[in-house]
Structure 1
Amino acid sequence: AFRLAVAEIPKWEVLEQAHLGIFSFTKYLMWRDLQDRTEQLKANRVVRHLIDHPGEAFAQEQHDPAEFEHLDETHRPQDILAPLLADSSQLKAICAIDAGRDLVLEGPPGTGKSQTITNLIAHSLARGKTVLFVSEKMAALSVVHRRLNDIGLGPFCLELHSSKSKKSEVLQQLAGSLDLAGQRTADDWSREAERLAVLRQELNGLVDALHREYPNGLTVYEAMGTSIAHAGERTAPMPWSDPLTHDRAALDALREAARRIQALAGAIGELRGHPLALIGRPDWSPGWGDDLMGAAQALERAATVLRERTATLAAQLGIGASGMGLRAHGLLDELADLLLAAPGVPTGLARQAHDAPTRARLQALARHGAARNAAWLRLGDGWSATLAKLDAVALLGEWSLATSTWWPKSWFAQRAVTGRLSGFRADGRRPTAEQVRAMLGPLGEINDEDAFLRAAQADAQALLDDAYAGAETDWNALAAHETWAARFAEAVARLAGGDGARADALRAALQPLVTEHRATLAAGGAAGRALVGYREAWLDLRQHLAAVEALAQPVAPLVGDEDADGALERLRGLMQTWQGARRLLQPWCLWRSAREAAIARGLQGVVGDLESGAIALGEVESHFELGYRSWWLKRVIDRDPVLRGFSSADHERKIREFRAADQRFQKLTERYIAATLAGRIPAAGGAAASADSELGRLRRERQKQRGHMPVRQLVQALPTLLPRLKPCLLMSPLSVSQYLDAGYAQFDLVVFDEASQIPVWDAVGVIARGRQLAVVGDPKQLPPTNFFNKSAEPEEGVAVEEQVQDLESILDECLGAGMNRLSLQWHYRSRHESLITFSNVTYYDSRLVTFPSPVTDDVAVRFERVAGVYDRGGSRTNRAEADAIVAAIEAHHLDPARSHLTLGVVTFNQPQQALIETLLDARRRAAPALDRAIAARSQGTQEKLFIKNLENVQGDERDVIFFSITYGPDAAGKMTMNFGPLNGEGGHRRLNVAISRAREAVVIFSTLLPEQIDLARVRAAGVRDLKHYLEFAIRGARALAAQSTPTGLDPDSPFEVAVIGMLRSRGWVVHPQVGCSGYRIDLAVVDPRAPGRYLVGIECDGRTYHSGATARDRDRLRQHVLESLGWRIHRIWSTDWWLDPEGEIGKITRLLETLVTQPEEPAQAEPATAVADPAASTFP
């Protein structure tokens, strides 16, 4: 009928065909959840953003990346309730979420995602929060659930991962929680937290003291390293007392001053003996240079003239005067001045001028004469010179008698005296009584002086000739003559320079000139002309010398020692040198300028060492740095009680106590959290609950034998009781829709694990059920795909794996929206660093903290070449590789030395996986021993042998991984660049997952060689990385352009250089910076008995030690991981080495000698607390 109805309608026809399809309804509830509750879901801020604003930045409060960088300072031990030992990157994530942040937590392979999630859940539960933990894979959920059980929190968690969870099992879990009701004491926890905080603060105090950056930008550790590196070298003194004197700018200015004097001193060459060394002027200009050269030339001429005039004068005087010092020239000028004055001096005195007693008598004569004149002046005016003839003593007696008798007799007596004295008055009048009394004292002095002069008259006349006239002598002239005589005698003696014989010779030569031949000293005489010429030349020299000094501002006298002979020749030579070095004036003045500036800043010690030649021209900057740091270091230690009181023995005791306390605190935290949660559970044996109450409903359900309430209904019936019994639910996205009604109360925190494999639409319903979101996963690992949704046969000629499409994950969506993100950084899985090196370098920018193995010939990644072919057009397998892997599996399980190691096989596609499984099954049937070994190994462990492909291996790990590359040339030798899913957009993610599954070793079975991959023919990142990974497997770390060899870096500090040097000088082979990641062991000593192994790792307290963000990172966790890998670690403290390097090298030498001479004992690592499953045995 229908065919007939449409028969006349154009372009309509009926075709008789049938199509079959398989429709899955497993996600129907999830679809209904999204379909029916869109607006309700959008009440959640994250969901609303994902629905309404996909691809846009998420509007939220962004956390400061440095907010949690100093956890020990911002958080007390009791602030972070983490029962499992956690590194700082894990604790940061917990703190960020605790602060209310929505967070993306990136967890690269082996960085402890499950441990972090376990700690996060434990911390959140202890804070009274409810947690919904969601994982697509049961395996990931089980790991977390198992860890929660291990720390005693299993009874507070409800596992509902499967959509077919049994009602009886759920009721059993709830009943188990009721049995825990009641509060348990946790006093020990609080006390241990306080003790741990004190220990932690003390350990951090040393790190802060050593590595705190002071205002000048220095740290004590840096300064100590410099001091250690230059131990025993000369250090320049520094003038400051306060180590806080300089900030960074001030220290940079000092360094600039040091660099400037180094550069300018180097530009002029050797400072000592420099031709311009005496010039102190710091400012140069062309005009000044011309003036200085002109003055130098004039001074040179003046010195020449003075030399000639000196010779002429010496000839006239009959004295030796060649090559005199400058002071002698001045003395000669004084003598010339005295000789020119000699004609005016009495001949007798000139003859006796050198006789000191004669000069003394003349001095006394002049003194008495001057005293007589002074006394006469005191007589006053009106008295005649004849008064001096009166006897003052007699006159005094007469006047005293006249004034002491009775009146009127006294009147007559006084008139008699005054009448007689009137004859000695110039006006003839009587003197008054006052005048008489005033005259008597001076008259007595005049009488005395006249008596002395009369006694000395003969001697005076002999010395002074006509110059002596008794009382009328010009006593000032007489004093001047005596002064001339004294100066003349002194000038001769000084010119002789203390040489008695020379003094006698000078006196003998000059005596005739000042006596008999004094006429020649007159201006017209020959000697007089020579004297005047000399004095003019000397004055000219002094004037020109002053001019040069004013211009040059010399740093020392230009002629040097003024008493040294040859002054004029030195001065002439110096001026000639200056004129010859005129081109050096400008650089020399620049040096002087820099020198003055440096001294003004306090660098006089450095300048002094440079100028004295104590340091070379090119060492100024380093000399300053050493001097400054040495001074600064001592001043800082003077003020810092931590450094002053440091003892390595005591500090290591504190480390041991801290480790023990930290471990005890973890166990106490387990009990504290459990006690806290148990205290929130209502007592099952308490007051009877009504049948309609939640507790009553639960009791009723427990008592039933059958017909239990469905899980969804049970959850709905216990809205307040369930969060108290089971504050943590562990579910899958599907089971969330299955068991949690739309109206179920929101969880405080929703945590996704392996979020890179959860599609956005699977996550939205879960996110909406929480107030806060934590998305944990690795964007460098597998995204969600449609691989497991393929139920139909592949298209003809196209492999299933080539049809795989990557889907958008909730992790990618949250990252794209700019949600707060943190990353775990410490890698624990690999017991050999090379296992993770390729991924770390290629995918994680070398950000992962990995730990080296004490085995130096690390071959944990091994390449096994297989002569096979890839069956491209048929089975898409490589039979030869499959056979080789099956043989290797058998060898592994039958080898007693290796059979304890768990094993996994990873292939590039499903057909190769299936082939290996088939061949292995056949081999197990044919080899009962192999079958028994595999079966035995699989019992009692969760890590059975697996054989998987790229698409389903994420989340698994084993000790050893066999990797089948599968692809390669076909039977015809043709090599295509098609590597299945590696050619896709997410191919590199798949490779990253596959190569990071092993803890002990990876063995690559490959027909394909890296050189057969032609990157010119393919651009896929996955194919490119495969080529590089194969190169890495064959050649090792040197195949990575960005990766240095394990011992390829220089020591981290001068301190480490010093340790290496002393160890090597004692015959030990030492490698610095051992490791392939950001964390490296500072020094490692090679075991002489086994050169492929390190005997001891040496850790200093430098940058690596300081890089530990917490005391736990530095002083517990890092060493624990190293010891678990087989290292023996010895610490050397920089403070100890600085004070006593010989003592410290003795300690390490004795340890090394002991280890070599005694049987080696494996280092005992700290027990791996809170880690039960073997999958994480390397994690602390």
Structure 2
Amino acid sequence: MANKVFQYPVPSQLEAVVAKASLAEYQSLRDSAHQAFERYEAKQFSRASLENAAQWFDPKWVSERLKTIEDDGQNGGAIASILEARPTLEAYQRFRIRANGLPQAALDIFKLLRPKSTELERLPGSVLDDEVRKIVKREAMLAWKTKLENDDPRLLYEATELEAKIRSVGEAEKAMRRANRQMLTQGIDPARVASPRDWEPITRLRGQRAQRLREFLEKGPDLGLMELRPVWLMNPDVASRVLPLRKNMFDTVIYDEASQMPVEYALPTLFRGEVVVISGDEKQMPPTAFFASRVENDEADVFDGEELDEDATEVERETYNETWNRREIKDCPDLLQLGKSVLPTTTLQIHYRSAYRELIGFSNSSFYGNRLSVPVRHPDEEILRAKPIEVIRADGIYSDQTNEIEARRVVQVLADVWRRPGNTPTVGVVTFNRKQADLIEEILEKQAERDDWFRNMVARERDRVERGEDVGFFVKNVENVQGDERDYIIFSSTFGKNAQGSFRRNFGVLGQKGGERRLNVAVTASPPIWRSPTGGRM
């Protein structure tokens, strides 16, 4: 017993308890001893656990935790912070691995995000990733914007400045138009115009000596007619019938929609011009059946594709060259193709007609190789609201190249457009064949007979003119719509299932050679919006 007493770690404490001979004092000493042993075991366990975890923590943090253990302190606060970080620990460890492969620029971005860590920690984990991506994208776009503005300071203009410049350009254009009109009416050189006495014989409107229009135009240029009226607007057929066949009668001849004009139809006016400007779009309508009667190749016997002999006479050479030129001209499908082969060309790459990019997107991709620049752009919310392209299912029956249910749906859509509040938009209806166009016209007339309001709208809109331009309502097939432009274009595709429920994939002129050009004309005829009631799923 005495030996056990002397083995107690603090003998003085035990001797004091023995001297007091008190059971309570003994029990207190015993409990204190048990607690000391438990603290010792806990320290040993904490040291072992800390040693196992040391590889994952900073050495300084490990030494601080060990000192706290030795001093019988509490590491609960430090451990609690680790437990709080556990939900993001796995993602952080994955990021550490991926960070080794990130460029320095990416790491710099994360450094810039560090000051915002408090705000980001408040976000739910489910949306944190998306928010960080949005922040990075926004900052990248702002940096790109800053670079563009530094490269071109004009981009720094405020909205008011831009609006002022736009107004200034508009006013300058109006002033230029007024100046041009004034020049045409008052900028006439009197020295180049004959006296009224010289004009008197050819300007008689009545009597035996009255001149026909062609006679007037034959004699007028010598008296200064072109000085008085320098600009003439007419089609080639009228020009051939009324203008004298005089070489270089005009300084410049300009052709529009040249893809629709056969070469032989333009030859007389080509002869009358000193300089020619040919404008057109090879992706739009070719010459129509109106010009189908083409000149036959009557030089086949003269020219067979072989080169002339070296000893050919001068007359033979001239005949050969003239024949070759005539054949080359007649082999061209239209004036535009001929012009492209012999004249310098330029392309207008900015598309300004469509109020929404979606309207020109199909043609730009399918016909122009995405080379068109379309400045107009709208947010997705505006596109969903405005619906610049809308397909309306009619589910009609296709019979004898017509679709009556669809035609009635077209008339209903037309009435809905006209009934909308605000300014009445200009409207055109385009069909893919003449029979459907005639059917829609017939249904329009029947609806007008039943509805006075509708009859008045049709009558008013058919004769509508704005700023001197015909913008009236029309119903046309796709071959006759080139050059027309309206606020709304309503397509009647006509095609659909027949009475037996089968769908024949025969699309009329669209399936023929050059059909894609007709489609391109149709889908580019509407600047703001178009609707398409369709007879079936396309």
Q: TM over 0.5, yes or no?
A: yes
Give the alignment of 1:630-1029 within 5 angstroms.
Answer: 658-659=165-166, 661-678=168-185, 680-683=187-190, 693=194, 695-702=196-203, 704-705=205-206, 708-720=210-222, 721-743=224-246, 745-786=248-289, 808-815=333-340, 817=341, 819-850=343-374, 851-854=376-379, 855-857=382-384, 858-871=386-399, 875-893=400-418, 895-897=419-421, 900-941=424-465, 942-1010=470-538
Larger radius of gyration: 1
CA distance in 1 between counterparts of 2:278 and 2:447 reads 44
Instruction: Give SS of 2:472's match.
Output: coil
The letter of the residue matching 1:892 is: V
Q: How many angstroms does 1:713 deviate by?
A: 1.2
Q: Check whether the contact 1:861–1:1003 (CA below 8 A) recurs between aligned residues.
A: yes
CA distance in 1 between counterparts of 2:159 and 2:450 reads 59
CA distance in 2 between counterparts of 1:808 and 1:694 reads 47
Q: How many angstroms does 1:917 deviate by?
A: 0.8
Q: Judging changes above 3 Å, is the alpha-carbon distance between structure 1 residues 964 and 835 closer, same or farther for their aligned structure 2 residues?
A: same
Q: Check whether the contact 2:395–2:496 (CA below 8 A) recurs between aligned residues.
A: no
Q: Check whether the contact 1:719–1:744 (CA below 8 A) recurs between aligned residues.
A: no
Q: Check whether the contact 2:464–2:473 (CA below 8 A) recurs between aligned residues.
A: no
Structure 2: any 5+ residue segments left out of the alignment?
A: 1-98, 109-148, 294-330
CA distance in 2 between counterparts of 1:652 and 1:974 reads 57
Q: How many angstroms does 1:783 deviate by?
A: 0.5
Q: Check whether the contact 2:262–2:291 (CA below 8 A) recurs between aligned residues.
A: no
Instruction: Give SS of 1:728's match.
Output: coil
Instruction: Give SS of 1:782's match.
Output: coil
Q: Judging changes above 3 Å, is the alpha-carbon distance between structure 1 residues 843 and 619 closer, same or farther for their aligned structure 2 residues?
A: closer
Q: How many angstroms does 1:811 deviate by?
A: 0.8
Count of residues paired in the alignment: 352
Q: Check whether the contact 1:906–1:964 (CA below 8 A) recurs between aligned residues.
A: yes
Instruction: Give SS of 1:729's match.
Output: coil
Give the alignment of 1:445-484 within 5 angstroms.
Answer: none
Deviates more, 1:726-735 or 1:982-991: 726-735
Instruction: Give SS of 2:408's match.
Output: helix
- How big is each residue's C-alpha offset from its partner over 1:1056-1093, in whole Å with a ceiling of 9 and x where there is no partner? xxxxxxxxxxxxxxxxxxxxxxxxxxxxxxxxxxxxxx
Instruction: Give SS of 1:862's match.
Output: strand
Q: How many angstroms does 1:991 deviate by?
A: 0.7
Q: Judging changes above 3 Å, is the alpha-carbon distance between structure 1 residues 1004 and 719 closer, same or farther for their aligned structure 2 residues?
A: same
Q: Judging changes above 3 Å, is the alpha-carbon distance between structure 1 residues 654 and 680 closer, same or farther for their aligned structure 2 residues?
A: same
Give the alignment of 1:1052-1071 within 5 angstroms.
Answer: none
CA distance in 1 between counterparts of 2:177 and 2:516 reads 40
Counting aligned pairs with the same residue, the percent is 30
Q: How many angstroms does 1:807 deviate by?
A: 8.8
What's the TM-score, normalizing by structure 2? Answer: 0.58
Q: Judging changes above 3 Å, is the alpha-carbon distance between structure 1 residues 676 and 782 closer, same or farther for their aligned structure 2 residues?
A: same
Instruction: Give SS of 1:772's match.
Output: strand
Instruction: Give SS of 1:999's match.
Output: coil
Q: Check whether the contact 2:426–2:471 (CA below 8 A) recurs between aligned residues.
A: yes
The letter of the residue matching 2:441 is: E
Q: Judging changes above 3 Å, is the alpha-carbon distance between structure 1 residues 986 and 898 closer, same or farther for their aligned structure 2 residues?
A: farther
CA distance in 1 between counterparts of 2:157 and 2:392 reads 52
Q: Check whether the contact 1:784–1:807 (CA below 8 A) recurs between aligned residues.
A: no
- How big is each residue's C-alpha offset from its partner over 1:1006-1065, in whole Å with a ceiling of 9 and x where there is no partner? 12322xxxxxxxxxxxxxxxxxxxxxxxxxxxxxxxxxxxxxxxxxxxxxxxxxxxxxxx
Q: Check whether the contact 2:202–2:219 (CA below 8 A) recurs between aligned residues.
A: no
Q: Check whether the contact 2:396–2:535 (CA below 8 A) recurs between aligned residues.
A: yes
CA distance in 2 between counterparts of 1:891 and 1:903 reads 12
CA distance in 1 between counterparts of 2:360 and 2:155 reads 35
Q: Check whether the contact 1:836–1:996 (CA below 8 A) recurs between aligned residues.
A: yes
- How big is each residue's C-alpha offset from its partner over 1:184-224, in whole Å with a ceiling of 9 and x where there is no partner? xxxxxxxxxxxxxxxxxxxxxxxxxxxxxxxxxxxxxxxxx
State the partner residue of 2:56.
Answer: none
State the partner residue of 1:415.
Answer: none
CA distance in 1 between counterparts of 2:102 and 2:498 reads 67
Give the alignment of 1:31-42 within 5 angstroms.
Answer: none
Q: Check whether the contact 2:441–2:475 (CA below 8 A) recurs between aligned residues.
A: yes
Q: How many angstroms does 1:722 deviate by?
A: 1.3
The letter of the residue matching 2:262 is: P
Q: How many angstroms does 1:672 deviate by?
A: 3.8
Q: Check whether the contact 1:831–1:853 (CA below 8 A) recurs between aligned residues.
A: no
Give the alignment of 1:581-660 within 5 angstroms.
Answer: 658-659=165-166
State the partner residue of 1:391.
Answer: none
Q: How many angstroms does 1:975 deviate by?
A: 2.7
Q: What is the CA RMSD across the aligned residues, in angstroms?
A: 3.6
Q: Check whether the contact 1:680–1:724 (CA below 8 A) recurs between aligned residues.
A: no
Q: Judging changes above 3 Å, is the alpha-carbon distance between structure 1 residues 1003 and 619 closer, same or farther for their aligned structure 2 residues?
A: closer
State the partner residue of 1:337.
Answer: none
The letter of the residue matching 2:431 is: T
Q: Check whether the contact 2:493–2:534 (CA below 8 A) recurs between aligned residues.
A: yes
Instruction: Give SS of 1:968's match.
Output: coil
Q: Check whether the contact 2:463–2:473 (CA below 8 A) recurs between aligned residues.
A: no
Q: Check whether the contact 2:449–2:455 (CA below 8 A) recurs between aligned residues.
A: yes
Q: How many angstroms does 1:703 deviate by?
A: 6.1
Q: Check whether the contact 2:393–2:533 (CA below 8 A) recurs between aligned residues.
A: yes
The letter of the residue matching 2:197 is: G
- How big is each residue's C-alpha offset from its partner over 1:799-847, in whole Å with a ceiling of 9 and x where there is no partner? xxxxxxx9921112222x1532212222222222212111111111222
CA distance in 1 between counterparts of 2:500 and 2:420 reads 41
CA distance in 1 between counterparts of 2:429 and 2:161 reads 46
Instruction: Give SS of 1:955's match.
Output: coil
CA distance in 1 between counterparts of 2:423 and 2:258 reads 34
Q: How many angstroms does 1:986 deviate by?
A: 0.3
CA distance in 2 between counterparts of 1:809 and 1:667 reads 36
Q: How many angstroms does 1:912 deviate by?
A: 0.8
What's the TM-score, normalizing by structure 1? Answer: 0.28
State the partner residue of 1:386.
Answer: none
State the partner residue of 2:68.
Answer: none
CA distance in 1 between counterparts of 2:291 and 2:416 reads 33
CA distance in 1 between counterparts of 2:476 and 2:332 reads 21
Instruction: Give SS of 1:992's match.
Output: helix
CA distance in 2 between counterparts of 1:761 and 1:648 reads 50
Instruction: Give SS of 2:409's match.
Output: helix
Q: Judging changes above 3 Å, is the alpha-carbon distance between structure 1 residues 839 and 617 closer, same or farther for their aligned structure 2 residues?
A: closer
The letter of the residue matching 2:347 is: S
Q: Check whether the contact 2:426–2:472 (CA below 8 A) recurs between aligned residues.
A: yes
Q: Check whether the contact 2:428–2:473 (CA below 8 A) recurs between aligned residues.
A: yes
Q: Judging changes above 3 Å, is the alpha-carbon distance between structure 1 residues 824 and 616 closer, same or farther for their aligned structure 2 residues?
A: same
